[in-house]
């Protein structure tokens, strides 16, 4: 094979930089592996759990076991100027040499018609492009649109192509614009239908262009159950992918409810896992409400509750 002349090599490098952007200060090269570019996961000092501990410094157990652990930041229609917010978040993580985790939740109607989200497909594309731009070349992990594939059936079949097209757009964007991000399409949980059908949906959303898929987001199923599920999806995909598992609240497994159930427990702390599982992450901050249900029948979704947090710490 002929060797590239210096001029040709320079032109290729220039083209790559135009496509992906210059690496931020401190990133010598775009390796594509955010774990190698950082030293551990970012603990968000602005999380609701951290804010609670600042108000209640006497609660040392909650401080060490929840507020001191890394969990994901969710972004959606509530996030205001999402590009500015994501830029601030990922920049702070980069300065700390830590890896930030983000979850996007803004497809029109969101999961199963919960409501909210972008007002149109065009608005979603603009929004997810802003998220991507906010990350740039900084290292990150991003989980795309929880339950969007798992609950596709909630929408009329006539809307499926449009919803899949939005996911494909997001996947293509992160693949092209964020070289140091591992992006994962959410693939529901162990009860999200047939594994072969989930693999089919993942393929339709171009999962092969990104790192892989995410399992158990904001759910309670054990890691072992999720590994069995992940292996079945990988087999149906024909390999070539990776996945992560949300272990934030799966220490006691699921009792069949996904809405503030009693007697659940914290799971494995965020960490690198064993292939083909990439990561065990806390995608939901333990103590944040799933909605007005279960142990907190009046608490809105996403609101932090020390009651829920301590139930998860004790497993009762």
Three-state DSSP at 187 gives coil
What is the average pLDDT score of the chain? 91
- What digits encode the pLDDT tens for the residues 174-200? 999 999 999 999 999 999 999 999 999
Structural tokens at position 121 = 């497909």
Hey, what's the torsion of the CAs at 287, 291, 296, 302, to 10 degrees?
Answer: 30
Domain edges within the chain: 27-314
Sign of CA dihedral 293, 299, 303, 309: negative
The CA distance from 149 to 82, in Å, is: 23
Among candidate residues 265, 253, 252, 259, the one with its CA nearest the CA of residue 296: 259
CA angle 139/141/144 to nearest 5° reads 135
- What digits encode the pLDDT tens for the residues 143-172? 999 999 999 999 999 999 999 999 999 999
The CA distance from 313 to 311, in Å, is: 5
Q: Determine phi and psi for 141, rounding to 5 degrees.
A: -120, 135
Report yes or no on whether pTM surpasses 0.85: yes
DSSP letter at 269 equals P
- What digits encode the pLDDT tens for the residues 96-134? 999 999 999 999 998 786 778 999 999 999 999 999 999
Q: Under CATH, which number does the domain 27-314 receive?
A: 3.20.20.40
pLDDT the model gives residue 114: 78
Mark 28-45 as b/e (b = at least 16 C-beta within 10 Å).
eebeeebbebbeebbbbe
């Amino acid at each position: 094979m002929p060797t590239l002349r210096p001029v040709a090599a320079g032109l290729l490098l220039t083209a790559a930089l135009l496509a992906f952007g210059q690496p931020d200060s401190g990133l010598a090269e775009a390796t594509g592996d955010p774990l190698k570019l950082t030293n551990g996961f970012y603990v968000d000092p602005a999380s609701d759990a951290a804010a609670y501990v600042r108000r209640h410094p006497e609660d040392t157990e909650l401080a060490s076991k929840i507020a001191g652990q890394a969990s994901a930041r969710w972004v959606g229609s509530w996030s205001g100027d999402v590009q500015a917010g994501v830029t601030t978040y990922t920049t702070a993580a980069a300065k700390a040499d830590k890896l930030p985790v983000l979850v996007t939740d803004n497809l029109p109607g969101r999961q199963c018609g919960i409501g909210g989200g972008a007002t149109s497909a065009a608005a979603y594309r603009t929004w997810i492009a802003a998220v991507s731009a906010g990350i740039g070349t900084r290292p990150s992990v991003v989980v795309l649109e929880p339950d969007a594939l798992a609950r596709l059936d909630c929408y009329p079949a006539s809307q499926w192509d449009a919803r899949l097209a939005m996911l494909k757009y997001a996947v293509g964007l992160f693949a092209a614009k964020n070289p140091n991000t591992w992006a994962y399409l959410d693939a529901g949980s162990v009860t999200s239908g047939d594994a072969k059908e989930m693999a089919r949906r993942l393929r339709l959303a171009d999962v092969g262009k990104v790192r892989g898929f995410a399992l158990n987001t904001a759910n309670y199923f054990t890691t072992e159950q999720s590994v069995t599920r992940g292996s079945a999806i990988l087999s149906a995909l024909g390999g070539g992918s990776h996945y992560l598992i949300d272990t934030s609240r799966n220490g006691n497994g699921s009792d069949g409810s996904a809405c503030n159930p009693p007697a659940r427990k914290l799971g494995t702390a965020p960490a690198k896992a064993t292939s083909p599982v990439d990561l065990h992450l806390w995608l939901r901050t333990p103590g944040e409400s799933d909605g007005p249900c279960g142990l907190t029948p009046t608490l809105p979704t996403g609101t932090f509750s020390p009651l829920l947090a301590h139930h998860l710490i004790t497993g009762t």
